Amino acid sequence: MIKAVIFDMDGLLVDSERVTFETLGEMSKENGYIMTKDIYIKLLGITNKQAGVMLKSIYGEDFDYQDYFGRLHTEMTKRYEKEGVPVKKGAKELLAQLREDGIKTIVASSSDSEWVKTTLTLAGIFDCFDDYICGDEVKNAKPDPEIFLTACKKIGTDKENAVVLEDSFNGILSANRAGIKAICIPDMVQPDTDKLDIYRIFNDLEEVKNYFKDVDYEI
């Protein structure tokens, strides 16, 4: 029985991946780099440090990824403050239902804790969760299982009674390695069902909400 739901953030709770891709594209062009969709997809579900190593291999060792991602967060915050954070369909309703039904919730994101707090606060859902575990709080990032196993410990739930909601390949692979059921809600990339163990695939979080209600959290 489900006693806890573990949420990814980017591309799952908030429609941030497309906004990030657009912002990175503009920033990269200004600085003489090219940010293609193929390159960006490789950045999904990994930490800034991991992304920095990969981008250095593409753009050269002189590429300052810390400055790059620092400016990205500054530009993203400005955009969010001006336009609002695009919350994914069904996110608020799902969170309200889980709280009402006594199901624990925790965010497990590869993003740094300060960025997670900023994003979810601007989205108006930061206080909807019982806890958080972020990329700068674990030694090994996704697809290592550490972040999801730590999430279970933080909210006092056995992994057998938890379910992960993810959109990225690395996130689902991390859940697989942790031995936790993974539900996929695709965002920019469709899941590779040949390489991943996916319990269910839904179009949006509203469908997840309805499914949990239908099965009364027995999965």
DSSP 63-96: --HHHHHHHHHHHHHHHHHHH---BPTTHHHHHH
Determine phi and psi for 132, rounding to 5 degrees: -145, 145
pLDDT in tens, 138-174: 999 899 999 999 999 999 999 999 999 999 999 999 9
> Given this model, what pLDDT does residue 184 score?
97
**How many angstroms separate the CA atoms of 77 and 71, rounded?**
10
Q: Kindly report the CATH class assigned to 4-15+86-215.
A: alpha beta
- The residues with which 6 forms a beta bridge, in sequence order, are 106, 164
Quick one: pLDDT at residue 49? 83
Query: DSSP class of residue 14?
Result: B
Q: How far apart are CA 169 and CA 24, in angstroms?
A: 21
Residues 6+ away with beta carbon under 8 Å from 127: none
For residue 204, pLDDT beyond 80:
yes
Which DSSP state fits 10?
B
Give the three-state DSSP class for 50.
helix
Domain ranges within the chain, ordered by starting residue: 4-15+86-215, 16-83
Residues 76-112: pLDDT tens digits? Answer: 889 999 999 999 999 999 999 999 999 999 999 999 9
* pLDDT tens per residue, range 27-86: 888 888 889 989 988 887 777 888 889 899 999 998 898 888 889 889 988 999 999 999
Could you tell me if 28 and 129 are in contact, meaning their C-beta atoms sit under 8 angstroms apart? no
Which residue is listed with tokens 């369909």? 89
